[in-house]
Amino acid sequence: MPILKNAKKALRQSIKRAKRNTIRTDEITSLRRHFKVAVKGNQLDKAKELAAQIGQKIDKAVGKKIVKMNTAARVKSRMAKAMSAISGGTIKK
């Protein structure tokens, strides 16, 4: 445990930020799960809505350095590929 006053404050801030970041990443993970269910159920409208929400949240998380840029790009790419598959588009492997 920290002894100095400023170290105690830094620890409190760190814990608070970690909790906030965990909440944001959990929201994204939850939305991704719902998106996968919608894709498996061929629910195009719901999948489009969820894809938009995930895109916004993940972009915001990248801006706050919670998620890395390449991770966000990979997630978006996979979502687009899944959307293309259920909408009848062609998929390249």
The reported pLDDT for the residue numbered 88 is 80
The reported pLDDT for the residue numbered 93 is 53
Beta-carbon contacts of residue 67 (< 8 Å; ≥ 6 apart): 25, 28, 58, 61
Instruction: Note the pLDDT tens digit of each residue in 34-90.
Output: 999 999 999 999 999 999 999 999 999 999 999 999 999 999 999 999 999 988 866
pLDDT at 91 over 80: no
The reported pLDDT for the residue numbered 69 is 97
**Structural contact between residues 65 and 54, judged by C-beta atoms closer than 8 angstroms:** no
Q: Three-state SS for 84? A: helix
The one-character DSSP state at 66 is S
Please give the distance of CA 87 from its chain centroid, rounded to a whole number. Answer: 23
Instruction: Note the pLDDT tens digit of each residue in 10-44.
Output: 999 999 999 999 999 999 999 999 999 999 999 99
Considering the domain 5-87, what is its CATH architecture? Answer: Up-down Bundle (1.20)
Compute the distance between CA of residue 46 and CA of residue 34 in angstroms, rounded to an integer: 9
**Closest listed residue to residue 45, CA positions, set 88, 73, 83:** 83
